[in-house]
């Protein structure tokens, strides 16, 4: 597919946002969006892991799985690579950047089970991206995810003292807000076609 990595990057933020168009990575999106600072921290970590794993999974898929006819193992292999990458990143950060680890520490293990990370690796294969497109897609998806979760955290902090109906406090209102955000982002659809 001929498309400049920059276009892929922009598309993955606006028209094909992981949260607001594909609804991937919802669990941590809802759980960690109470505070803006926590949301920002998790967003950074997700962006870093997404960029790294989309490149690694791309390389493994095209230089190991395809040549040896093991494509049917891609789900397991991708998950293992993501988990390994997150572990490795956590160890490295803990050893060499203790301040950053203090900041991101709790969020890193969460990312292993973030569907957006796995989704990006699979989309990379389905849409037949090349290496640069895959990297741009991973990075852009991370930026888009961060933008969405920080904005959601902003809204949730704004309505913290609002007299919400009892049954909607917490996850309920968060899902409604997410729905309206997705409604708004439909407006961007069609500006860039990535599929």
Partner 1 sequence: MVTQIMPRNFLQRQKIMRKVLISLIPVILGGVYFFGLRLLLLLVVVTVAGIATEYLFARKRKAKVTEAVLVSSVLFTLSLPVSTPFWAAALGISFGIFFGKEVFGGFGHNVFNPAIVGRTFLLISFPGHLTAAWTRIFTTFPGGFIHYIAPPLDALTQATPLALFQTGETLPLSKVIVGNVFGSMGETSVILLLLGGIILLAGKAADWRLMLSPMLGFVGLTSVLKLAGVGGIPHPLYGLFTGGFFFLCIYFVTEPVTAPKTIPAKWLYGILIGVITVIIRYFGIFAEGASFALLIMNIFVPLLDDAVKSLQALRKKEAAA
The distance of closest approach from Cβ of residue 102 to partner 1 in the complex, given in angstroms and rounded to an integer, is 22
The residue among 91 and 184 lying less far from partner 1, judged by its C-beta, is: 184
What is the C-alpha separation between 27 and 37, in angstroms, rounded?
18
Question: Closest distance between partner 1 and the C-beta of residue 188, in Å?
Answer: 7
Q: For residues 76-86, b (16+ Cβ closer than 10 Å) or e, as one string?
A: ebbbebbbebb
Cα separation values, 53 from 37, 112, 176, 186, 192, Å: 24, 11, 31, 28, 24
Q: Which residue has the tokens 């741009």?
A: 136
Least distance in angstroms from the C-beta of 61 to partner 1: 32
CB of 69 or CB of 165, closer to partner 1:
165
- Shortest Cβ distance from residue 46 to partner 1 (Å)? 18
Nearer to partner 1 by Cβ, of 109 and 154: the residue is 154
Continuous H helices in 15-130: 26-31, 36-60, 74-96, 98-104, 107-111, 115-126
Interface with partner 1 (CB under 8 A): 36, 150-151, 154-155, 157-159, 162-165, 168, 173, 176-177, 179-181, 183-191
Distance CA 131, CA 162 (A): 47
Minimal distance, residue 124 CB to partner 1, in Å = 25
């Amino acid at each position: 597919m001929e498309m400049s990595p920059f276009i892929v990057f922009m598309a993955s933020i606006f028209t094909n946002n992981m949260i607001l168009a594909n609804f991937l990575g919802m669990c941590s999106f809802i759980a960690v969006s109470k505070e803006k600072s926590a949301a920002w921290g998790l967003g950074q970590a997700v962006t870093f892991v997404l960029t790294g794993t989309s490149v690694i999974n791309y390389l493994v898929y095209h230089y190991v799985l395809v040549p040896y006819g093991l494509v049917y193992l891609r789900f397991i292999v991708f998950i293992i690579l993501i988990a390994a990458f997150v572990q490795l990143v956590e160890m490295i950060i803990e050893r060499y950047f203790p301040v950053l680890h203090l900041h991101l520490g709790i969020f890193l293990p969460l990312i292993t089970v973030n569907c957006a990370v796995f989704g990006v690796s699979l989309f990379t294969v389905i849409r037949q991206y090349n290496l640069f497109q895959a990297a741009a897609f991973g990075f852009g998806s991370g930026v888009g995810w961060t933008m969405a979760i920080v904005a959601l955290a902003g809204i949730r902090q704004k309505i913290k003292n609002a007299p919400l109906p009892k049954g909607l406090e917490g996850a309920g209102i968060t899902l409604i807000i997410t729905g309206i955000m997705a409604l708004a982002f439909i407006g961007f659809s069609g500006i860039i076609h990535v599929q």
